[in-house]
Each structure stands twice: as structure tokens, then as C-alpha cells.
Amino acid sequence: MQYLKYRLSAAMWARVLLLWLILAIGALVVGGIALWLGRFIQGNIRDELVSQQITFSPVDGLDDDEKAIPGIVENAGQPLTSGNQAKVYSEYIGLHMRHAAEEAGYPGEVYATLGGIQRQFRADVAAAKEASDEAALEAAQAGLDAVTNLRNTMLTGSTLRGNLLSAFGWDNVATGVTVTGVVILVLALIFFVLFFYEWRRGHLPPTEA
């Protein structure tokens, strides 16, 4: 700290000015790229969401369980265009998937766990055919059809949920990149101010005769 009171030589101040200028230009370039990249990613995600033409159900079409989903009432009747809305709609789909499992008599089951139940029904169908038991065959086939339909529903819902959650994640990444770009551009401005201040009114030692 004791050396802070000493004045730098002209050569050293020239190096300091050059450093600030390099930092300013570098920050300007990096910040601009980050800002462009964030907006580019966010624009692509939102264009893709708009192309899906998904619209939230109006408030009067929601039941109590649906209204309990955070954000669903606020977005009721609106088109899905943002990552945050995608997350809300993914929860809406998840709720309907759980309801579908409950209505089919398999509460708590998901796509992966339904595979075991499906295999068991197939084995029951094969056993009934082998035993020529028409009643058992009809019951097993009905159960197999129900589980297969439910599993297909789960597959479709899970795929859509995954896409929506991916859009939510990337949209937030894009927001973070954009904010980072703005911060870096602010740093670039600070470096430019420091550079011009020292250049115009710097603390160079007087020129020796």
C-alpha cells in the first residue's frame, strides 16, 4: 500500500491505458456476443413454443386441482409463448397424467412401472389362450388394452412434458446469458470511461525537458 502514493512513469501509465483499452474492447465484444446469443436462443425457443399453438384453458374450464397449480390461473386463456409458461403447462399435463392413472385403476403408476403390468397381462392372455379359457382371455385382453392405452397416454404426456421442461430450462439459460451480456457491457463502459479519463486528464508525470 505504501507504493500507491508514488506516480507511475509515462511508460507504465501507457501500459495501464493500453490494458484498460484492451479490457474495454474485449468486454464490449464478449458482452455483445453474450447478449446476441441470449436473445437468439430465447427467440428460437419462443418461436418453437408459438408454433405449437398451445393455449391455456380459461379459468371457468379449470377444476380445483388444476387451479391449485402455481401460475395456471394467471395464464388462463393465454397462448403459451415463454419458458415459464411451459413449466406451468408441464405441471398441468402431469396432473392429467396422474388423473388418467387413477381413473384407469392404477394410481401412482407411470410409463416405466406400467411396463411390468403390461407384461403380466400379456402373460395372462397367452395362458388363457393356451387353456382355451374364453372368459379369462376376455378379461386379460381387456386389462391389457386398458394398460396399453394408459401407457401410450403416459408416453405422449411424458414426451411433451420433457419438451416443455427443456424449453423452460433453455429459456432461463438464455435469460441468464442475456443478463450476463448486459453486465459485461456495463463493465466495458466502465473500462472505456477509465481509459478516456486517464487519457485526457491522466496522472502522467510532467514531461522532462
What tens digit of pLDDT does each residue of 3-30 get? 555 565 667 677 777 888 888 899 999 9
- The domain ranges of the chain are 8-201
**Is-above-0.75 flag for pTM?**
yes
Contacts within 8 Å (CB) and 24+ apart, 61-68: 65/95, 65/99, 66/92, 66/95
For the chain, the average pLDDT equals 87
Q: Which pLDDT score is estimated for 134?
A: 87
End-to-end CA, the chain:
31
Could you give the angle at which helices 134-201 and 111-131 cross, rounded to 10 degrees? Answer: 160
Nearest to 200 by CA among 190, 189, 188, 192: 192
pLDDT of residue 209 exceeding 50: no
